[in-house]
Amino acid sequence: MMKKCPVIFFLFALMLLSCQTRVERLRTDKTIDLARELLTKLDSAEFYAERKCSEIEALKLRIDCGSNYQENFKTLYNVGEKYGNYIIDSSLVYFEKAAQLAREVEDDYLRIFAEIRLSTMLTIGGFYMSSFELLNSIPRDKLRGILVEKYYNAWMKLYREVYSSSYESDFYKSDYRVKYEVYRDSLISVSATHGTYYLRNMEKKAAQAGNFADARRYNAIRIANTPDHKSYAYATCLYDRFMIAQHYEGKLTGQDVDDLLQSAIIELEYCNRDINSMLWVITLLNQIGEVEDAKKVSDYYYNSLLKFGSRKRLLECGVQAMVVNEQNYRLLQKKNREFKVAIGFISLLAIAFLLAMLTIYKSHRRIIRLKDNLQQQGKVSKEYVGVVFKLYSSYIGRFDAFRMKIYSTLKKGNLDQALDLASPSKDLISNERKNLFQHFDTAFVDIFPDYIEVVNSYLKPEMRITPKRTEILNTELRILALIKLGIEDNGEIAEMLHCSVKTVMNQKAVFRSRLAVPENIFTNAIMEL
């Protein structure tokens, strides 16, 4: 099992790398900014809708204000066009009004012009039979000029919508596809080679045949013929270029994603509610895991289609919207689980952090105390170096004065007086010894102020030591003090205290009998002072 772990980790890392590579491949320097712009503009959708309504209302005011029926027809037709990607029912109404006006004045050219456009809107709305009947009612012998192109284009759109519908059987779809291709080729044959009909259909035909270089060449010509990069025509060119990569090549790049996003932004600003690009934006956002943004775009797209009124578009988007909602629900569940885990992990980190801070605080306080102690001990050490130096200097001076006094006495011939000064009966040493012990006891207790208290804490209560008022330390405490300072040899202790070795040994024995704890515990405690 352990041997398999490196392989598993390698495969997992490879999977992460491939996902990251795919995301990086679908991005350019502009992608993030375009995506952010699109999502921001979604929040301004109502502004674009109000602007669209204002344009339509201003155009409606010109109805019946023309100097002749052709101007009135044009106004009605333009209102229908304005409604074309905005509200399909209103569009149908105004195209029908334009056609009715043409019938009333018996202008077959304008009537057919309006009826062909009306049939296209019926197709977009999902009214296939009505569109079919309307196109069949148009006499072909009366088609001329641009009407021929529009007529073939209307039939081509009808059969393309029908064969691409998910509600038709495969048997009928193949038949409709053949008819679509017949009308497409007919449209190509009658269109000017520099016109939009010709270039766009040649582009799709080349893409379907796998001639992607030709398809992109036709698309590039269309883009070159569209100088206004904020127009609906330019948005259509960008969308078609994206579809060459997505639908036909099956291979997207960051530039293709930028084309899609820019197309969607333009259509959003025009408040076109039948926006094919939005559907692909939703799909791409889902693929890269940006489900929340996909949900935002999906909600906007679905609400737009509700207002647009296309039955076919609404059904198709409804399926996509359900997919997005399901993915968003799963994402929220996953995020909730991750959030709970994160909260638990953060709580553990917080506890660990508090414990660490407490430990650091205690260590800091200990360091401060140690620093203070070191500073205090350093200060005391400096003071007592001076005291010891002064004491030794005093002894040297006094010894020299005593020597000079004896010398002076002998020189004067006062032998008896000199003998008297050096007589053992003179207790000069005893006074000096008391003076020495006084200085030693004072220095030791200053350095170890808790010394007597600590010693007594390890003795039996009735055996505790209490020095006399005239002394700081007694002989027992002074012996322990020397041991604390590292002087353990009995002979050295006896020599320093000016007593016999036996006295030192007896004092130690007496002291052991006073202990309330084992000797090693007491010794360790004293050494740790």
**Beta bridge partner(s), residue 515:** 459
CB 67 within 8 A of CB 88: no
Q: What is the pLDDT of residue 373?
A: 57
411 in the Ramachandran plot: left (φ > 0), alpha (ψ -120 to 50) or beta? Answer: alpha
CB atoms within 10 A of CB 338: 10
> Helix count (H) and strand count (E) of the chain?
23, 0
Look up residue 398 and give its two tokens: 């006094």
Can you give the pLDDT at residue 449? 82
What letter represents residue 243's amino acid?
A: M
Cβ(95)–Cβ(114) below 8 Å: yes
Task: Provide the whole-model pTM.
Answer: 0.59
Question: What percent of the chain is helix, strand and coil (3-state, nearest 5)?
Answer: 80, 0, 20
Query: How much is the pLDDT for 318?
Result: 60
Other CB atoms within 10 Å distance of the CB of residue 504: 22
- DSSP class per residue in 462-505: GG-----TT-SS-HHHHHHHHHHTT---HHHHHHHHTS-HHHHH
Helix axes 276-287, 291-308, angle to 10 degrees: 160
Does the CA dihedral 284-287-290-292 come out positive or negative?
A: positive
- The SS3 call for residue 459 is strand
Q: What is the pLDDT along the chain (529 residues), one digit of tens a residue?
A: 434 444 433 333 443 334 444 445 677 888 888 988 999 999 988 999 999 999 999 999 999 898 899 999 999 999 999 998 889 999 999 999 999 999 999 999 999 999 999 999 999 888 899 999 999 999 999 999 999 999 999 999 999 988 887 565 666 788 888 999 999 999 999 999 999 999 999 999 999 999 999 999 999 999 999 999 999 899 999 999 999 999 899 888 889 999 999 999 998 998 887 777 888 888 888 777 777 788 888 888 878 878 887 666 666 666 666 666 666 666 666 766 766 776 777 777 778 778 877 877 777 677 676 556 555 555 555 454 445 545 555 656 666 666 677 777 777 777 676 666 666 555 556 666 777 777 788 877 877 888 888 888 888 888 888 888 778 888 888 888 888 778 888 888 888 787 888 888 888 888 788 888 888 887 887 777 6
Q: Are 85 and 310 in contact (CB under 8 A)?
A: no
